[in-house]
Amino acid sequence: MGNRIRNTVTTVIVTAVAASGLTFAYTRNQYEKWDKLDAVYEHLSAQYVEPVDKTKLVDGALDGMMKALDDPYSVYMNQEESKSFGEVISSSFVGIGAEIEERDGRIVIVSPIKGAPAEKAGLKPNDRIIKLGDTSLIGMKSTEAVKLLRGEKGTKAELTIERPGETDPIQVTVIRDVIPIETVYSNLLDNGIGVIQISSVSETTGAEFAKQLTDLKAKGMKGLVLDLRQNPGGLLDQAVEIGEMLLPAGKTLLKVEDRNGRTQEYRARGSGKNPSIDGLPMVGLIDGGTASAGEILAGALQESAGAKLVGEKTFGKGTAQTIMNLKDGSTVKYTNAKWLTPDGTWIHKTGIAPDVEVALPEYAALPYVSPDKEWKQDSYATEVKSIQVMLAALGFDPGRKDGYFDGKTAEAVKSFQSAQGLQATGAVAGDTLRKMTELLAAQLKQNDPQLQAAVKLLAP
C-alpha cells in the first residue's frame, strides 16, 4: 500500500513517455521527490483519527498537483468526471433521450429527442415522471433526476408517468441507449443566404457540418453565415476538418507552438471527400462565448479566407490541451501547447476582434434566473433586475431596473400574466418565468441584429 500513490503518479509519467514515443530507464533517485508525498500518505492512512478512503487521498493529491499549475484548463478528473467529459467530447450520452425540467415539484418531459428511446416508448411533452422503479422523483431537482435516468446501454428504466388528461398513472418501460447530441444546425434564408450554427466542436461535428453544407448547397445557397457564437470549442482535428471545407487548399488554418517554441503549421489540404464552400462569400458571427476551437475557425475565416467577422470580441483561449487516460478510468487533462492564428497571433486572454462590431440587446446577456424560486414584491436581488429587464423588453414597464421588486414591478408582472392567460399573482416563478424566457428567445430569433448585419454584408 505504501507505494500506491507513487505508482499512480508513475502511471501518469509512463503514459506521457509512451505517448511521446521515447523510452527512459528510471532509477530510485528519480522517485525520491515523491518520498514526502508517500510519508504523508502512509501517516494519514495509519494515524488519522478515522479510517481514511485511500482512493480519495490519491485523487486529492493528483487534484492538488494539477491546481498547482495555476491553469484553469489543466485538471484531474476522477472516474465519474472522466465519464461525463467523455460524453461531452463524443457528443453523446446513454439515457432515455428526453429533455426534462422541474416544475412545481414534478419532473416534466419538455420534449423527447426525435428517434430516441423515450419517443419510441410513447413518452410525450408534459408527461410527468413521478417514479423511476421504486424511487420517487417528486420534489427532486432536474439535475438529480438526470443522473438517475441515465445509465448503462440496454438497461431498463421503469417509469411511472402522470399524463395530462389521464386519471391513473401510466407505467412505461424505456430501454436506455446511446443518445447523440447535435452540434450543427442550419437554415436557408429567403434571400438564399445559408446560416450554419456550430454550438460546440465534438467528435461528430465535422461530419455534421459536411451534411449541413451539402444540404444548403443543394438548395442553391448564395453565401454562408457561419455562426460561432457561444461556441466553447472542442477538438482540434474537427476544427481542422471544418476549416478544410471553408478554405482553399494551401491556406493556413492555424499554427501550434510547443514549449520549446517550435511551430507546426496546419494548412488546408482541400476538402477531399467532404463538400467545399467553392468560393461562395462568407461571414462569421462571434461573441464573448466563442472560444478555443471556435476561435480557431474564426481566425481562419478572418485571416485566410478574407471573410468578415461580425459581433463582439471572442473569449480568448489560445492554448491546447491533451488527455492522459489512467488505468482506473480517471483522467488528467493538461495544457501542452499554444495555438496561433494563421498570421501568427496568440489570442490568449485578448480574443479576436470583429471587423463589424454589433452588440445584442441587453436581455440577450442576462444571467440565469431559476424557475424553482419565487420572486415577489419587496424582493431585492440580481435575479429581480434580470426580471425587470425582461419585462421591459417584452413591453411591460417595470418602473425600474435596479433589482428592487416594488409595486410598479408587481403591476407589470400582473399585466404580463394576464396577457399570457396565466394567474395574475404579481409574483414571478415557474410558468411565468418560463413564458418570459420563451417569448424573449423567439423575439431575439426574429430580430437578431448581429445576424442581420452579417446577412447585409452578403446581400447582393
Strand, coil or helix: what is 293? Answer: helix
What is the reported pLDDT for 114?
76
Nearest to 416 by CA among 401, 444, 438: 438
What is the reported pLDDT for 141?
81
What is the reported pLDDT for 16?
38
Going along the chain from its start, the domains and CATH numbers come out as 4-68 (no CATH), 92-180 (2.30.42.10), 184-357 (3.90.226.10), 371-446 (1.10.101.10)
Instruction: Return d(Cα 117, Cα 255) in angstroms, integer.
Output: 43
Confidence of residue 48 (pLDDT cuts 50, 70, 90): very high
Flag whether pLDDT at 34 surpasses 50: yes
Confidence of residue 24 (pLDDT cuts 50, 70, 90): very low
Calculate the average pLDDT of the chain: 89
Q: Which of 102, 208, 241, 303 is catalytic?
A: 303
Average pLDDT over residues 353-363: 95
Residue written as grid cell 481562419: 300
Residue 317 bears catalytic tag: yes
Q: Which of 255, 271, 312, 317 is catalytic?
A: 317
pLDDT digits (tens, 9 = 90+) for 431-451: 899 899 889 989 998 999 999
Flag whether pLDDT at 284 surpasses 80: yes
Query: β-strand 331-340 against 263-267: which pairing, if any?
Result: unpaired
Confidence of residue 210 (pLDDT cuts 50, 70, 90): very high
DSSP 204-266: THHHHHHHHHHHHHHTT--EEEEE-TT---B-HHHHHHHHHHHS-TT-EEEEEE-TTS-EEEE
What is the reported pLDDT for 28?
40
Residue 273 bears catalytic tag: no
Residues 6+ apart with CB under 8 A from 231: 198, 199, 200, 201, 289, 290, 291, 293, 294
Q: Are 264 and 336 in contact (CB under 8 A)?
A: no
Flag whether pLDDT at 103 surpasses 90: no
Q: Which of 292, 304, 330, 379 is catalytic?
A: 292
Instruction: Return d(Cα 90, Cα 438) in angstroms, integer.
Output: 29
What is the reported pLDDT for 22?
39
Q: Are 265 and 252 in contact (CB under 8 A)?
A: yes
φ/ψ (deg, to 5) at 306: 70, 20
**High-pLDDT (> 70) share of the chain, %:** 92
Residues 6+ apart with CB under 8 A from 349: 316, 318
pLDDT digits (tens, 9 = 90+) for 302-327: 999 999 999 999 999 999 999 999 99
Confidence of residue 13 (pLDDT cuts 50, 70, 90): very low
Q: Are 387 and 376 in contact (CB under 8 A)?
A: no
Nearest to 194 by CA among 458, 437, 460: 458
Instruction: Return d(Cα 198, Cα 160) in angstroms, integer.
Output: 36
Confidence of residue 32 (pLDDT cuts 50, 70, 90): low
pLDDT digits (tens, 9 = 90+) for 377-435: 999 999 999 999 999 999 999 999 999 999 999 999 999 999 999 999 999 998 899 89
What is the reported pLDDT for 77?
93
pTM of the model: 0.80
**High-pLDDT (> 90) share of the chain, %:** 69
Residue 111 bears catalytic tag: no
